[in-house]
Amino acid sequence: MELNTHSVLLCVHVRLDPEQTGFIAVENFTSLAQQHELQLDPTKLDMLLALVQSDQHGHVCYQELIELLSSKRSSSFRRAIANGRRTLQREILLDETGLGVYKRFVRYVAYEILPCETDRRWYFHQNRLCPPPVFMAIITIVQIVVFMCYGVRLNKWVLQTYQPEFMKSPLVYHPGHRTQVWRFLSYMFMHVGLEQLGFNALLQLMIGVPLEMVHGILRISLLYMAGVVAGSLTVSITDMRAPVVGGSGGVYALCSAHLANVVMNWAGMKCPYKLLRMVLALVCMSSEVGRAVWLRFSPPLPSSGPQPSFMAHLSGAVVGISMGLLILRSYEESLHKQCSWWVLVFSFITFLLFAIFWNIFAYELLDVQIPPPP
């Protein structure tokens, strides 16, 4: 049975660093572990040896040992991984046997999302399903419930935007109602029809849930919401007469970030059939954009006003490739410590401020003829 962290640290402090130098020789630590006097998780022991091998004196800092046993990866350990100065003592994670259904799913997620074997094993052994990936599940459920309510109310399940009552919803973004700022975000709960909802829900669950399991609710919710807000603001600048519905901005932010991460780490990604899956994802995403363009400029039925814009798809993809790629490449690292993160944050804030001023002044200065609000 594994000792608790306090007992382990007390034993290490007394026996391995009696002179209180702050450093521990790896030979002493390994000897104690092999004698079963110090029982450690084998994964943590491998991580410790990887950290020690990056030190030219074969020592490990006492504080770094505390962080490791407390399930925190020190900056020195991350540098050791980045520089490739370590070896893995055990077989690769894919060879682990006797796993339950949940652990097999966690292993699948690790190989789907993470390009480094050490990161996969760290995530696999630290995963506790707490907190669960609730963000993408809640967003998808709310979108389905809203769609079902409008479907029953309007008795229409495809091309709902052709129904005037649908466009009167307080959730739809319409340029005539742009002073109601919540619409720049709430439009993600409305969808053109069953086909758009199905496409978005499928991608959110297939890609968003694994991403949230690995990178956490804060990072993935930030990425998704940034794509949604960027989508509506981009439409208000580039397609000023068009409304917006659907969560495609957020969905494309997730998808483009994941695909870009796979491309950037192609050799390390071990997900099965990655080339085929990437081609299918690109085909599906391109088809959805093409369909949106067709509905925008060549609607199949006469309508009272312009159809929803497709620019939210493209702006979501830009957000995913820029901000999302940095988020996914920074697993277990603090974003606020990276200069590139602050550059992206500054760029996004600059875009938000520009879009706000554009929505306040540009419509009148350019004398844009906005279709009357429904």
Question: What residue spans define the domains of the chain?
Answer: 5-85, 134-366
Give the span between the Cα atoms of 154 and 174, in whole angstroms: 19
Tens of pLDDT along 220-244? 999 999 999 999 999 999 999 999 9
Three-state secondary-structure class, residue 33: helix
For 120, the token pair is 């996969």
Q: What is the pLDDT of residue 305?
A: 74
- Choose between 331 and 101: higher pLDDT: 101
CATH topology for the 134-366 domain: Rhomboid-like fold (1.20.1540)
Torsion of CA 210, 216, 217, 223, to 10 degrees: -80
Tens of pLDDT along 85-135? 444 445 577 777 778 888 889 889 988 998 887 788 778 877 767 778 899
Q: Is 313 a catalytic residue?
A: yes
> Mean pLDDT, the chain, as a whole number?
81
Residues with Cβ within 8 Å of residue 260, at least 6 apart in sequence: 320, 321, 324, 325
Give the span between the Cα atoms of 191 and 150, in whole angstroms: 10
Please state, for a pLDDT cut of 90, what percent of the chain lies above it: 39
Q: What is the pLDDT of residue 242?
A: 92
> 110-145 burial string, b = 16+ CB within 10 Å, else e?
bbbbbbbbbbbbbbbbebeeeeebebbeebbeebee
Give the span between the Cα atoms of 117 and 305, in whole angstroms: 53
Give the long-range contacts of residues 81-87, CB within 8 A, separation 24 or more. Answer: 81/50, 81/116, 81/118, 81/119, 83/54, 85/53, 85/54, 86/49, 86/50, 86/51, 86/53, 86/54, 86/118, 87/49, 87/50, 87/53
- How many Cβ atoms from other residues are within 10 Å of residue 227's Cβ? 31
Q: Is 248 a catalytic residue?
A: yes
Tens of pLDDT along 270-325? 888 888 888 988 898 898 899 899 888 888 777 767 889 999 999 999 999 999 88
Using N-to-C axis directions, what is the helix angle for 62-69 and 5-15, rounded to 10°? 160
**DSSP H or E run through 151:** helix 134-154
**DSSP H or E run through 25:** strand 23-25
The catalytically annotated residue of 125, 174, 215, 313 is 313
Q: What is the pTM of this model?
A: 0.81
Give the span between the Cα atoms of 140 and 138, in whole angstroms: 5
Please report, for residues 40, 272, 303, the alpha-carbon distance to residue 94 in angstroms, rounded to integers and kept in the order given.
22, 12, 55
51 has a pLDDT exceeding 80: no
Residue type at position 217: I
80 has a pLDDT exceeding 60: no
Give the span between the Cα atoms of 64 and 51, in whole angstroms: 9
Give the span between the Cα atoms of 17 and 272, in whole angstroms: 46
Residues with Cβ within 8 Å of residue 212, at least 6 apart in sequence: 133, 135, 136, 220
**For 5-85, CATH number?**
1.10.238
The catalytically annotated residue of 169, 186, 232, 248 is 248
- 17 pLDDT tier (thresholds 50, 70, 90): low
Tens of pLDDT along 160-206? 888 888 988 999 999 999 999 999 999 999 998 898 999 999 999 99
